[in-house]
Amino acid sequence: MHYSEEDKARILAQYPEHERDTRTKGVPAMGSGRVFLVDEAKLLVDHFEYPSHWVQIAGCDFGWDHPAAFVECWWDRDLDIFYVVRTFRFRHMTPHQHVERLRHWKMPFAWPADGGRQTLEGAGEPLATQYRKAGLNMLWEHATFEDGGVSVEAGLAEMHDRMAGGRWKIFKGQNNEWLEEYRLYHRKDGLLVKENDDALSASRYALMMKRSGKTAAAYSRFRRPLEYPKIGIA
């Protein structure tokens, strides 16, 4: 049966927003347990040139068997809109190997509290220290909200509120891993299923520490192109 565009729009409007991807794109449904309920189409924006007065900050989530994730973000302070610009995930790679692929990222990196105590086997020092020594611009303290809190639920709530209010945007084409996690992130029996959430977590840390971000002019005169080579999970 052929449906006109008007018919498609009318049928789609009958479904709750968080079910539309399942109905139209085959995204697996998580029922009432899905964490993010905003249609991802509302989040996506085309690439544009970095505005020099915007803040840049990156977030990272450490990993070995599960991927390590690194996310570049921009913050438009005037409109309070947070942009996820590009996402990389790597598996079974050391801090030095990560830094070799990210050394053009001059912006500060936000990182989780466990980075102050986790070590790769035999490394003998915290992961955040290893990345800092390898040359990544790590913030000196782990990610917190301005009041010092580190609540995951508070971070997810802010992310969702921003998405629903048009203040969280995703660049098309360079965040496929982030979007994969977005579609599947869910709860079971009321609890977060902490799997396949590495890029989401990295972006949450960046959001928490947006106050520590810098404009490009503040930390470097070097301008790298947005079209950085795409590297997925090894």
* Paired strand residues for 68: 90
CA distance linking residue 13 with residue 10, whole number of Å? 5
Mean pLDDT in residue range 191-219: 93
CA distance linking residue 148 with residue 141, whole number of Å? 11
Alpha helices by DSSP H, listed for 5-151, are: 5-13, 20-25, 95-102, 127-134
**pLDDT band for position 117 (cuts 50, 70, 90):** confident
Question: Please, how many CA atoms are within 13 Å of residue 106, restricted to the half-sphere of its CB?
Answer: 13
Interval 15-47: pLDDT, tens? 445 445 544 444 444 444 889 999 999 999 999
Mean pLDDT in residue range 216-224: 60
**pLDDT band for position 103 (cuts 50, 70, 90):** confident
Q: Indicate whether 12 pLDDT > 50.
A: no
CA distance linking residue 111 with residue 58, whole number of Å? 9
- Give the domains, in start order, of the chain with CATH numbers: 1-34 (no CATH), 38-218 (3.30.420.280)
SS3 (DSSP) at 60:
strand
CA distance linking residue 72 with residue 53, whole number of Å? 16
For 98, residues 6+ apart whose C-beta sits below 8 A from its C-beta are 68, 70, 90, 131, 134, 136
First to last CA, the chain: 42
- Among 31-35, 105-109, 121-125, the least confident range: 121-125
Look at residue 166 in the predicted model and tell me its pLDDT: 98
* Residue 12, both tokens: 């789609």
Q: Indicate whether 223 pLDDT > 50.
A: no
Look at residue 18 in the predicted model and tell me its pLDDT: 44
